[in-house]
Structure 1
């Protein structure tokens, strides 16, 4: 299913910079033809985790504090840029057309939002770099970590050519969470003492993101079932729903294991 929509380069609600005016149709067609590169990249990524862990088995962990500060600082800035450039379109869409329209239609789509949306998708490949630091530091790479990276990257680049209206919500939510998350990691790399409550809050926000993501997919699915027009193909909704549901379960389990179960164990030790 291909969507028909207009992308304006001069929206009344947002100043568009010259570097944001790109050949969106050309990029869309390229992604439609070449999206599978992310599948091969993901296979290599997962393979390198195992290879890297074996290579590091007999070696001392690397000290990468400075590199981590730079890396997380860069991703914080990038995530914040995506968030602040994509958010205005959502606000205007909701204000002018309503929340439902923001999920199902592109009534006020502009080239800047489209540009940062594409950049957001490609940035999911950059997120693979997080794992390199874990492997070189000989820290565990849990299933949630690499599964989340791989599935988000594959989904983003697969659906990018169809320009799913709800993807704006997914990108804005994710970039907001990543801004906070990478800022936190950067500060931790600087050896700043941060309350455990902050990390709990970040995980809670991530879980809230998954709940809202499931809500969006359920809402658009049943809207289409009722025969109301919605420019989201069923396969897209179903795949996104399965992803968000799996993330919710994994993040909720992580929260329980790290913050609830450990706290209970520590209390028992004090008795």
Structure 2
């Protein structure tokens, strides 16, 4: 394939990120490597401890807030969500800077499966995304401080997405970009919605954020199961149909598919419970309102 039909260099964020990375971390993204035990937050004991610490802070926080009034943290909540909109949008843009030329010149299979598609720049951005998953724990702490109802889905998703990001980094899963870019796109929209609610604006499209999340997981799983099948078929059962090697460790491939499957199930269940129940209640309320109006009008005519 030919090169891109235009020069997108003037749109690039990567030169600024490279300069910031060198200044703050002393390393360029092109030289970055996620090394277990060397890179910060890169070992399983730290990941497990972080997950346990998150859960302890959530349930401990709920206990401490039990007899206290809910905190009003609208300004902090607004700042938090604006930061996450900017981080998610910026990270998505950095992915596209790497992915668009790669997809254009080498195709989808290369970008999904070839080990050489796992560039140092991509690994650096994967790592930044992983760090953001630690930052997103703050989402739950806001809910605890404001004494909002905590759904199982929320806590489960926040606790294990950080674990998933570590597993995919350690397993050097080439197709990680599919899951992450979709997730970042959804997060730009979702955190924009929450930023608006902090401004006392309640957009009508809340339901469609959940619909978008479900769509995201359906697409993720289509690629995930396809790549996992070809990974195992190529390496262990070459007589089965496959489209070649797909770079990943066995554990990362199985864990990723399994966890994303539970996400899809829980989000669908949440959607049905929340919005089907809401619509049902709305219909019942409307019917009850009509009946009440009839009775009221009857009284007036007497």
Alpha-carbon spacing, 1:33–1:47, altered in 2? closer, same or farther (3 Å): closer
Q: 1:25 aligns with which of 26, 33, 51?
A: 33
Q: 2:113 aligns with which of 104, 115, 120?
A: 104
Q: Which segment drifts farther, 106-115 or 91-100?
A: 106-115
Match of 1:66 in 2: 75
Per-residue CA deviations over 1:122-165 (Å, capped at 9, x if unaligned) read 11011100011100100111110111011110121233133211
Q: 2:133 aligns with which of 124, 131, 135?
A: 124
Match of 1:264 in 2: 280
Matching of residue 248 in structure 1 with residue 264 in structure 2: yes
Per-residue CA deviations over 1:50-100 (Å, capped at 9, x if unaligned) read 111111111110011101000000111011111000123222222222212
Match of 1:204 in 2: 211
* 3-state SS in 2 of match to 1:98: helix
Structure 1 unaligned regions, length at least 5: 1-11
| C-alpha displacement of 1:26 | 6.2
Match of 1:46 in 2: 55
Query: Residues 77 and 198 of structure 2 are in contact (CA less than 8 Å); yes or no, is this contact kept in structure 1?
Result: yes
Match of 2:181 in 1: 172
Q: TM-score under structure 2 normalisation?
A: 0.79
| C-alpha displacement of 1:106 | 4.3
- Deviant stretches of 4+, over 6 Å: none
Match of 1:150 in 2: 159
Alpha-carbon spacing, 1:221–1:161, altered in 2? closer, same or farther (3 Å): closer
Query: Residues 85 and 116 of structure 1 are in contact (CA less than 8 Å); yes or no, is this contact kept in structure 2?
Result: yes
Per-residue CA deviations over 1:169-221 (Å, capped at 9, x if unaligned) read 222111111111111100111111311xx111111111111111111111112
Match of 2:102 in 1: 93
* 3-state SS in 1 of match to 2:38: helix
Question: Which entry has the higher C-alpha Rg, 1 or 2?
Answer: 2
Query: Residues 29 and 161 of structure 1 are in contact (CA less than 8 Å); yes or no, is this contact kept in structure 2?
Result: no
Distance in 2 (CA, whole Å) between partners of 1:233 and 1:109 is 13
Structure 2 unaligned regions, length at least 5: 1-7, 22-27, 239-243, 288-302
Match of 1:218 in 2: 225
Q: Between Structure 1 and Structure 2, how many residues are aligned?
A: 258
Match of 2:252 in 1: 236
